[in-house]
Structures are given as C-alpha cells and as structure tokens.
Amino acid sequence: MTREQLESYRSMQAEIKELMEKITYPDIEEMKCSSIINDYRSGYPVPQAVVGFDWERIQRNEKRYWKRIAELEKECSSIEDFIENINDSLTRRIFRMYYIEGIPQVLIGKAVHLDKSNVSRKIDNFLKIATHATNATL
C-alpha cells in the first residue's frame, strides 16, 4: 500500500457520496431533451416542439455511477483492511485516525501522547517497512 493510495481514501469516500447524490437526485435540467415534430392535424405540417426526458441517458449515467461506486468501495475496503491488519496497536490507531478519519497529526499526537514529529516518523517508518516487504515478495 502506498502513501498516495492511503491519502486518496477520504477523497474516494467523498466521491462515493457525490455519486450517490447524483443517483438519488439526478439533474433534471441536464436530462431534458427536445425535438421538433410536424403536426399534420390541420392538414399541412406545423412544426411543434416536444420536450421530455432522455430516460436512456439517465439509466446509462446511473449504471456508470453504480459501477464507479463499486470500484471505489473495493479500493476503500482494501485500504481499511490494510490498516486493520497492522499488528502494532499504536501504529494502527495512528493510521486509522490520520488516513481514515482525517485527523491532523498534531491532534493525533495529543490523543496518543506523542508529539507531531513522532507521529509523522511512525507513519514514515511503517510505510518504508511495508514498501520494502512488498518489494521483497515481488
């Protein structure tokens, strides 16, 4: 697991919320479509505007959004699993607070009784070890 993947967790969670919002409340104005038809009721063609919704487009977007949500949830789940599988309790707490909950390192330090530099060092050291272990197995 890389630092970039861990740091993208909160952004992915926000994207999931945004996509769920788009599914629940689609932009009606964006989905409107109009066409011109000829009305022959009077005996000759009279152009008439017809306005409606592009239901196929709405369904395509919804399908695309659900697919992306599934991908994001899978990525988030792998990050959560990585953090929960950290053996050291203190390091696991630091990672959970920093990457999942988005708590600043200064506040994490106060919660775990370390200063900010020690919190930062714990994160860096663990990621170096994890990266080295991953590269060694490949």
**Matching residue, tokens 């070890």:** 129
Q: How confident is the model at residue 42 (pLDDT cuts 50, 70, 90)?
A: confident
**Most confidently modeled of 21-25, 47-51, 80-84?**
80-84
Number of domains into which the chain is organized = 1
- Asked if residue 93 is part of any domain, the answer here is yes
Say whether pLDDT at 6 is over 90.
yes
Task: Indicate yes or no: pTM above 0.85.
Answer: no
- Calpha distance 59→35 (Å, rounded): 20
CA distance 50 to 34: 5
Domain boundaries, position 132:
86-138
What CATH number should be reported for the domain holding residue 132? 1.10.10
Residue 27 φ/ψ region, left for φ over 0, alpha for ψ in the -120 to 50 degree band, beta for the rest: beta
Cα 5 to Cα 7: distance, rounded to the nearest angstrom: 5
Report, in angstroms and rounded to the nearest whole number, the Rg of the chain calculated over CA atoms: 25
pLDDT of the residue at 134? 60
Per-residue pLDDT at 56: 85
Q: What percent of the chain has pLDDT over 70?
A: 95
**Smallest Cα–Cα separation from 118: which of 126, 78, 79?**
126
The span from the CA of 98 to the CA of 104, in Å, is 6
Confirm whether 11 is domain-assigned: no
